[in-house]
């Protein structure tokens, strides 16, 4: 979990040691799945889980460490063009991957905004998706790229589109006894991208942000995916803005048109960091910025 100064929120310090639990270090995926039950938690990078344990906001009876499980990390391209990213792939490794930088620049841009270096060194892509923080960058970027996830259970595997995976704040379709195994991203080579966020300080949670994937070419109608984060209980598809971009060939003037529609699909709330009105305004500003960048790349 990224560091954040909660003193302004009046948050009092709580316990700094977790409640007792059994620790299992799994050596294979089957071992991990066999150890899981409804009262278990999976330990990957631990950047979200460990603070929650220490504050006793979660009290599992068992923690299953999957760091020694082979085959859960790495980035590869399949012959059909789909890119696979293992759930245990660290943020730092995403940034270092030539394949990610060349084929998934939106993911690279989003990852660069995740926390600080120490957090990126341990945090994992699967952990970010499974934790489902509404202000997280990677869920929004991957949703814009039409990604899906492969989930393993004792009875086999299932594939779930990210459009369906996020249920609410810190809540996904992952069930008891299931492990997010990898992310699958359709061939992204024709996608121009844009990414913009506002945070109080570098490394803080975003107050609001927008990720854009734009498919098309000069003089042709575009297919757009716009996703906002920090403005709802999950990553939010900006469908009205998508429609504004998808009706005509991309031009630089379309960015303002999309921005005017962006807040229609957001339902931000007031909190100690920003008002709902301010967040809605930021979505418009950031949409125009991110869409303009994407159109510029598409027309270059």
Residue 222 pLDDT class (50, 70, 90 cuts): confident
H helix runs in the chain, sequence order: 29-35, 49-54, 91-96, 98-103, 105-111, 117-122, 125-131, 137-144, 162-165, 239-246, 254-262, 276-299
Q: pLDDT digit string (tens) for 156-204? A: 999 999 999 999 999 999 999 999 999 999 998 888 999 999 999 998 9
| CA 120 – CA 128 distance, rounded (Å) | 11
Whether the pLDDT of residue 15 is over 80: the answer is no
pLDDT at residue number 219: 62
| CA 94 – CA 74 distance, rounded (Å) | 9
Average pLDDT over residues 80-107: 97
Q: pLDDT digit string (tens) for 229-261? A: 999 999 999 999 999 998 778 888 899 999 999
Whether the pLDDT of residue 132 is over 80: the answer is yes
Whether the pLDDT of residue 1 is over 80: the answer is no
In a 13 Å sphere around the CA of 128, the CA atoms on its Cβ side amount to 35
Residue 14 pLDDT class (50, 70, 90 cuts): low
Residue 22 backbone phi and psi in degrees, to 5: -85, 140
Average pLDDT over residues 104-133: 97
| CA 228 – CA 237 distance, rounded (Å) | 6
Instruction: Using the structure block, give the residue that is written with the tokens 């970027």.
Output: 141
Which pTM was predicted? 0.93
Q: pLDDT digit string (tens) for 16-73? A: 899 999 999 999 999 999 999 999 999 999 999 999 999 999 999 999 999 999 999 9
How many Cβ atoms from other residues are within 10 Å of residue 168's Cβ?
11
Query: E strands along 186-259, which residues?
Result: 191-199, 206-215, 223-229, 236-237
How many Cβ atoms from other residues are within 10 Å of residue 272's Cβ?
9
Whether the pLDDT of residue 10 is over 60: the answer is no
> Average pLDDT, whole number, for the chain?
92
pLDDT at residue number 95: 98
Out of 8-12, 26-30, 287-291, least confident range: 8-12
| CA 30 – CA 96 distance, rounded (Å) | 30
pLDDT at residue number 106: 98
Whether the pLDDT of residue 8 is over 70: the answer is no
pLDDT at residue number 189: 81
In SS3 terms, 85-137 reads as EECCCEHHHHHHCHHHHHHCHHHHHHHCCCCCHHHHHHCEHHHHHHHCCCCCH
- 23, 22, 17: which is closest to 55 by C-alpha? 17
Residues 6+ apart with CB under 8 A from 243: 261
Q: What is the dihedral of CA 32, 35, 41, 44, to 10 degrees?
A: -20
pLDDT at residue number 299: 87
């Amino acid at each position: 979990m990224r560091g954040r100064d909660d003193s302004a929120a009046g948050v009092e310090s709580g316990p700094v040691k977790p409640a007792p639990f059994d620790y299992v270090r799994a050596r294979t995926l089957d071992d991990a799945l066999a150890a899981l039950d409804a009262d278990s938690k999976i330990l990957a990078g631990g950047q979200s889980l460990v603070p929650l344990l220490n504050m006793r906001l979660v009290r599992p009876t068992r923690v299953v460490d999957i760091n020694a499980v082979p085959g859960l990390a790495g980035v590869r391209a399949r012959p059909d063009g789909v890119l696979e990213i293992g759930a245990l792939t660290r943020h730092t490794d995403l940034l270092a991957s030539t394949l990610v930088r060349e084929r998934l620049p939106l993911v690279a841009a989003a990852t660069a905004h995740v926390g600080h270096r120490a957090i990126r060194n341990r945090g994992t892509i699967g952990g970010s998706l499974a934790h489902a923080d509404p202000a997280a960058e990677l869920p929004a970027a991957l949703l814009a790229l039409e990604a899906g996830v492969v989930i393993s259970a004792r009875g086999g595997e299932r594939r779930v589109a990210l459009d369906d995976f996020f249920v609410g704040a810190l809540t996904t379709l992952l069930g008891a006894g299931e492990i997010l195994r990898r992310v699958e991203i359709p061939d992204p080579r024709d996608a121009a991208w844009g990414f913009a966020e506002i945070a109080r300080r570098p490394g803080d949670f975003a107050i609001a942000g927008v990720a854009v994937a734009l498919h098309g070419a000069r003089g042709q109608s575009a297919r757009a995916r716009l996703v906002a984060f920090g403005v709802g209980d999950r990553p939010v598809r900006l469908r009205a803005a998508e429609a504004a971009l998808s009706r005509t060939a991309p031009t630089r003037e379309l960015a303002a048109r999309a921005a005017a529609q962006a807040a229609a699909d957001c339902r931000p709330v007031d909190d100690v960091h920003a008002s709902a009105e301010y967040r809605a305004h930021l979505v418009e500003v950031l949409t125009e910025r991110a869409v303009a960048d994407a159109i510029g790349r598409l027309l270059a």
